[in-house]
Amino acid sequence: MSPRIKRIRKVLNPPPIKGFKPYGPETNNTQNEPVVLLYEEYEALRLCDYDMYNHYYASGIMNVSRPTFTRIYASARQKVARAFVEGRQIAIEGGKVYFDSDWYHCEKCHCDFNNPAKELQVEMCPLCGSKEVKDYDYTYEIEENTENRPFDTCICPNCGFEQPHKSGKPCRQEECPKCHSRMMRK
């Protein structure tokens, strides 16, 4: 299990690429799902194994606790090893994580916005004024970045109805056409 992190962290060095593809005679099997390396996992690897910081220092740079950092780092290595051993692609999750202020999402007009006045709490959407505002969630990124993957299916957790995932739209905003439950990624 990889740690699920909701807050967007301060990130200094965005990855220069979107991922890696294996090569060789056995690698044409596109059935294999890519390994998705979360941004924080990429960053943990970079800090520890490329820049050679120790865990204590790296956790400080990423602004997470030592145990959290250790979990992220372990997960990163496990994923990379899995990609190597099983000949899978590595997709690095990137996106709206490369800056300082916290980001939010408006449920009503579906805009994303940051809060440059950190000392003030966000109470409403700066565009439409709706109070249905929530913290920006990493899973939006993942859903956006998985657009071209072969496993794009949404499923209804209630009745099992399946439909192709609509790109750019989080599954949770979809309603099951049969029972009107919230859909989720299969």
Partner 1 sequence: MKVAITSTGNKEDSTIDQRFGRCAYLVIYDTVSKSVEYIPNPGKDAEEDAGPVCIQLAASRNVIKIISGEFGIKIKALLDSMKVQMIMLKDPDIKINEIIEMLNH
The C-alpha angle 152, 157, 158, rounded to 5 degrees, equals 140
Minimum distance, C-beta of residue 101 to partner 1, in the bound complex (Å) = 5
Which pair of structure tokens corresponds to residue 68? 């959290």
Say if residues 185 and 171 touch (Cβ distance below 8 Å). yes
Q: Is the dihedral of CA 146, 147, 152, 155 positive or negative?
A: positive
Task: Name the segment binding partner 1 (CB under 8 A); options: 52-60, 75-83, 93-101, 154-162.
Answer: 93-101
Minimum distance, C-beta of residue 135 to Zn ion, in the bound complex (Å) = 15
Q: Where are the alpha helices (DSSP H) in the chain?
A: 39-45, 55-62, 66-86, 138-145
Q: Where are the alpha helices (DSSP H) in 53-176?
A: 55-62, 66-86, 138-145
Candidates 67, 126, 150, 157; binder of partner 1 (CB under 8 A) is 126
The site partner of 176 among Zn ion, partner 1, none (C-beta below 5 to 8 Å per kind) is Zn ion
Write phi, then psi, for 13 (nearest 5 degrees). -125, 100
The site partner of 178 among partner 1, Zn ion, none (C-beta below 5 to 8 Å per kind) is Zn ion
Nearer to partner 1 by C-beta: 64 or 106? 106
Give the contact letters, 68-107, x = binds to Zn ion (CB under 5 A), - = no: --------------------------------------x-
Say if residues 138 and 149 touch (Cβ distance below 8 Å). no
102 binds partner 1 (CB under 8 A): no
How is residue 25 annotated by DSSP? Answer: G
Minimum distance, C-beta of residue 27 to partner 1, in the bound complex (Å) = 31
61 binds partner 1 (CB under 8 A): no
Write phi, then psi, for 100 (nearest 5 degrees). -85, -45
Interface residue list for Zn ion (CB under 5 A):
106, 108-109, 125, 127-128, 130, 156, 158-159, 161, 176, 178-179, 181
Interface residue list for partner 1 (CB under 8 A):
14, 96, 98-101, 109-117, 126-130, 168
